[in-house]
Structure 1
Amino acid sequence: MIAALVALRAIIAREALRFIGQRSRFVAALVRPLLWLIVFAAGFRAALGLSITPPYQTYTTYEVYIVPGLCGMILLFNGMQSSLSLVYDREMGSMRLLLTSPLPRWWLLLCRLLASTTISILQVYAFLAITALYGIRFSPAGYVAILPALVVAGLMLGALGLALSSTIRQLENFAGVMNFVIFPMFFLSTALYPLWKMAESSELLHDICALNPFTHAVELIRFALYAQFNGTALLWTCLAGLVLLALAIWGYDPARGMIRRKS
């Protein structure tokens, strides 16, 4: 137990030091959603009208609607970037040594997942602080209630990155896989448009968005920002996270997953 806790502390500390040393990563994590908020949302403000739909009690502007989706974007991109670094560490870095340690692999992967999720949550709160300066503010209860939602959503999206990294043999291939996964997940979700908007254009798109795990992660964050509970979103986000984590553990199992395929 002591060894497991030492490994957890070491992995989280290493990820924190790496994040502090890579200031460009922090800036890029904030610039991306801020561009969407300031440029994209401003351009679509007049074209997209949003009706009164939970958790909103009144008509809301598009900038306010898009903020939870941009929080999910930060979690999604950071989870993928963390998995990209894991592919490098697995081949020639510290993770290569950790995977040969007597500690269970599922625990090492969980430690890495917790570390990346912690970094993601800090980035989300930094983004919310900037949006508050921009004029988009939420209640103090919302800033507190969003924390568990960010933990659940971050773990699910980080587990997605781990599952993908277990299938990648070369670092060069991961960027293409990231783009193949990130953009469909983001655009085919409620991050940018509500489900009823999707239903107006295509029932098929509506059904795809409704099945997208990222949609439920975004809705969990959206309701939490208004200090409201969305049980359906929580259930599906947790289920998706457990399935993806199980796939990642299976993929890193030397008897069945990545290492066997390499031999």
Structure 2
Amino acid sequence: MSVAARDARRPFGLAAYLVCLQGIVWRESLRFLHQRERFVSALVRPLVWLFIFAAGFRQTLGVSIIPPYETYVLYDVYITPGLIAMIQLFNGMQSSLSMVYDREMGSMRMLLVSPAPRWFLLTSKLLAGVAVSILQVYAYLVIAYLWEIEPPTWWGYLTILPALALSGLMLGALGMVLSSLIKQLENFAGVMNFVIFPMFFASSALYPLWRVQEGSPWLATVCALNPFTYAVELIRFAFWGKFEPLSFAVVLGCTIVFLAAAVVAYDPSRGMLMRRGGG
């Protein structure tokens, strides 16, 4: 029996899984450190909305008492969870861009032919991307605190962490699915804009759904069907130290569906990867 065949039959134990996870996380961490402009650009977008758009409408577009808020809140306070979710949405799409790049450069092939299960490889890469997005979110929260935007208690900075992890997993898994559909790196911008902006604007990130319902019932229906809406609401409630079961269930369910679709899409025998000429 050859060495390759013997290694293929050798069981993939816990130590091997940990080594594989460490290698993928370390690679993504180095990529993040070498791309500092990625960190800055992730903060520029939400800060522009916070300092310019929200500041201009701070008094005139305040939000009445709606859950999870117990008092009238200013507009910049209301949109902060939506801007946090925006950071994670763009990070998930940026991670999908790196997968398209890796596929074109051939490094994706080396990753997918490793003895580790494909679902574990994709999940490890997804976890690494989520960790980066959480660092970006807390950097934004530090700046928002200087702008006098903070939760009612300091516990909000801790209770938001599980919501960030789950919403980051959902948006990152969605990015993985999209990366399997993009044939060339040049097509990335068009596809991402077709996904990012409709998801962001057709949600509760910038305005409460009851206001949308008053103006356009059909748009309110679209917002209610948008999984990004539930990611925003999960973060909103968690930042205020509360739990929203419907948002949790929807985000968790979408995470499972998107991740399963990504695993299938990156399976050369039945997914989109080989159909697209990638490897």
Compute the TM-score of the two structures, normalised by the length of structure 1. Answer: 0.97
* Cα shift readout 1:191-247 (whole Å, capped 9, x = no counterpart): 000100100111111111011100000000000011000000000000111111111
SS of equivalent residue, structure 1 residue 58: coil
Q: Does residue 161 in structure 1 map to residue 181 in structure 2?
A: no
Q: Percent of aligned positions with the same letter in both sequences?
A: 62
Q: Which residue of 1 is the match for residue 62 of structure 2?
A: 49
**CA distance in structure 2 between the partners assigned to 1:219 and 1:50 by the alignment:** 15
* Cα shift readout 1:48-105 (whole Å, capped 9, x = no counterpart): 2311000000000001001000000000000000110111112215332111112111
Q: Which of the numbers 255, 274, 278 marks the counterpart of 1:241?
A: 255
Q: Does residue 149 in structure 1 map to residue 145 in structure 2?
A: no
Q: Does residue 63 in structure 1 map to residue 76 in structure 2?
A: yes
Q: Which residue of 1 is the match for residue 23 of structure 2?
A: 10
Higher-Rg structure is 2
Which 5+ residue runs of structure 2 have no aligned equivalent?
1-13
Q: Does residue 34 in structure 1 map to residue 56 in structure 2?
A: no
Structure 1 position 189, deviation (Å): 0.4
Q: Which residue of 2 is the match for residue 200 of structure 1?
A: 214
Q: Which of the numbers 239, 242, 245 marks the counterpart of 1:225?
A: 239
Structure 1 position 168, deviation (Å): 1.3
Structure 1 position 249, deviation (Å): 0.8
Q: Which residue of 2 is the match for residue 134 of structure 1?
A: 147
Q: Which residue of 2 is the match for residue 20 of structure 1?
A: 33
Structure 1 position 256, deviation (Å): 1.1
Q: Which residue of 1 is the match for residue 7 of structure 2?
A: none
Superposition RMSD on alpha carbons, in Å?
A: 1.1
Which 5+ residue runs of structure 1 have no aligned equivalent?
none
Structure 1 position 169, deviation (Å): 1.4
Structure 1, 95-104 or 28-37: larger mean CA deviation: 95-104
Going from structure 1 to structure 2, the CA distance change for 1:207 and 1:262 (only over 3 Å counts) comes to: closer
Q: Does residue 74 in structure 1 map to residue 104 in structure 2?
A: no
- After the TM superposition, which segments of 4 or more aligned residues of structure 1 sit over 3 Å from their partners? none
Compute the TM-score of the two structures, normalised by the length of structure 2. Answer: 0.92
